[in-house]
């Protein structure tokens, strides 16, 4: 059973194209570092602009990372679901047999 499961996991990782996703993640992190560097240099060179504080810098980092990776995770999820339907591999998910004795059905709405 373990051998089959590890083989299925390897196939899923190959289908997901992990190297490409890691490369894109690295590019997003480098973009955010570049954005923060330009922002900090700009605030130090302009004498009329208020200087960035430690708290404001970390606030910007939190907001920037949350926004970037929220959009990126949404794109990944949508492309994964659409890819399952276009490759017609979504039916495999619904074809896995389950042993009814080891997995009892959920008791929704039943109060004990």
Closest CA to 40 of 71, 26, 23, 61: 61
Dist. CA 49–CA 55, nearest whole Å:
17
Q: What are the tokens at 85?
A: 């339907």
pLDDT at 91: 81
Q: What is the pTM of this model?
A: 0.62
Q: Is the pLDDT of residue 101 over 70?
A: no
Question: Could you tell me which residue, 23 or 96, shows the higher pLDDT?
Answer: 23
Closest CA to 79 of 24, 6, 39: 24
Question: Side-chain half-sphere of 92: how many Cα atoms within 13 Å?
Answer: 8
Q: Is the pLDDT of residue 103 over 70?
A: no
Query: Do 8 and 56 contact (CB within 8 A), yes or no?
Result: no
pLDDT at 67: 94
Kindly give the interhelix angle for 2-16 and 18-45, rounded to the nearest 10 degrees.
50
Closest CA to 68 of 38, 25, 34: 25
For 38-85, the pLDDT digits (tens) are 888 887 787 777 777 888 888 988 999 999 999 999 998 998 888 888
Total count of residues recorded for the chain: 112
pLDDT at 48: 77
């Amino acid at each position: 059973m373990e051998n089959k499961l590890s083989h299925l996991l390897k196939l899923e990782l190959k289908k997901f194209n992990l190297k490409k996703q890691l490369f894109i993640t690295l590019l997003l992190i480098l973009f955010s570092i570049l954005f923060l560097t330009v922002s900090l240099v700009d605030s130090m060179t302009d004498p009329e602009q208020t200087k960035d504080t430690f708290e404001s810098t970390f606030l910007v980092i939190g907001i920037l990372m949350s926004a970037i990776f929220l959009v990126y995770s949404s794109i990944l999820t949508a492309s994964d679901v659409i890819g399952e339907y276009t490759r017609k591999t979504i039916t495999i998910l619904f074809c896995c047999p389950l042993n009814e004795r080891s997995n009892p059905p959920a008791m929704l709405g039943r109060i004990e």
